[in-house]
Amino acid sequence: MNIEVAINYIYILSAVLFAFGLKMLSSPDTARRGNFISAFGMFLAVVGTLISAELSFQWIILGVLIGGLIGLFAARLVAMTAMPEMVALFNGFGGLASLLVGWAVYQYQLSLDALTSVTVFLSVLIGGVTFSGSVVAWGKLSETISGKPVLFKGQQIVNALLLIAAIASGILFGMDPVAGHAFFITAVVVALILGVMVVIPIGGADMPVVISLLNSYSGLAACAAGFVIRNNILIVAGALVGASGIILTNIMCKAMNRSLRNVLFSGFGAVIQKKHEGHQGEVKPINVQDAYFILEAARSVVIVPGYGLAAAQAQHAVCELSEILERNGAEVRYGIHPVAGRMPGHMNVLLAEANVPYDQLFEMDDINPTLDSVDVCIVIGANDVINPAALNDESSPIYGMPIIEVHRARTVFVLKRSMATGFAGVQNELFYYDNTRMLFGDAKASIQGLVSEFKNT
Amino acid sequence: MDPQTLVFLFFIFALAIFLGFELISKVPATLHTPLMSGANAISGITIVGALISAGTVGKPISTVLGFLAVIFATINVVGGYLVTDRMLAMFKKKQSSIKK
- Specify the range with the lowest mean pLDDT, choosing from A59-68, A106-115, A330-339: A106-115
Domains of chain A: 78-265 (no CATH), 274-456 (3.40.50.1220)
Average pLDDT value for chain A: 88
In this prediction, residue A270 carries a pLDDT of 46
**A414 backbone dihedrals φ, ψ, rounded to 5°:** -115, 115
Task: Give residue-wise pLDDT tens across range A19-37.
Answer: 999 999 888 889 999 999 9
Q: Is the residue at B99 inside a domain?
A: no
Tell me the residue range of the domain where B17 lies.
3-89
Query: Is residue A204 over pLDDT 90?
Result: no
- What pLDDT is stored for residue A115 in this prediction? 87
- Is A35 near chain B, with CB under 8 Å? yes
- With a CB cutoff of 8 Å and minimum separation 6, the contacts of B71 are A63, A66, A67, A70
- Please indicate whether, in this complex, the C-beta atoms of B80 and A239 are within 8 angstroms of each other: no
Establish if B80 belongs to a structural domain: yes
To the nearest 10 degrees (0 to 180), the angle between helices A207-228 and A114-141 is 150
Q: Which amino acid is present at B3? A: P
Question: Would you state the pLDDT for residue A268?
Answer: 54
**B98: in domain:** no
Q: Could you tell me how many residues make up chain A?
A: 457
Stretch A155-167: mean pLDDT: 89
In a domain, B61, yes or no: yes
Per-residue model confidence (pLDDT) at position A424: 62
Strand stretches in A209-368, DSSP E: 300-305, 331-336, 361-363
Q: What pLDDT does B98 receive? A: 44
pLDDT of residue A271: 46
pTM: 0.88
- Using a CB-CB cut-off of 8 Å, the residues of chain A touching B95 are 357
Please list every residue in chain A whose beta carbon sits closer than 8 Å to the beta carbon of residue B36.
Answer: 87, 211-212, 215, 244-245, 248, 343-345
Instruction: Report, as an integer, the average pLDDT of A368-381.
Output: 92
Domain-embedded: residue B96: no
Interface of B with A in 50-69 (CB under 8 A): 50-59, 61-63, 65-69
CB–CB contact B55 A212 (8 Å)? no
In this structure, is residue B94 part of a structural domain? no
Is residue B55 in a domain? Answer: yes
pLDDT at A267: 59
ipTM, 2 dp: 0.92
pLDDT tens sequence across A382-403:
888 888 888 888 877 778 889 9
- Mean pLDDT confidence for A6-13: 91
Please state the rounded mean pLDDT for residues A225-251.
92
Q: In what order do the strands lie in the sheet with A436-440?
A: A361-363, A331-336, A300-305, A376-380, A411-416, A436-440
- Number of domains within chain B: 1
> Is B52 within a domain?
yes
pLDDT tens for each residue of A266-302: 655 444 444 444 556 778 888 888 889 898 889 999 9
Backbone phi, psi, residue A159, to 5°: -60, -45
Give residue B96's pLDDT: 46
Catalytic site residues of A? Answer: 384
| Residue A421, pLDDT above cutoff 70 | no
User: Confidence class of residue A422 from pLDDT cuts 50, 70 and 90?
Assistant: low
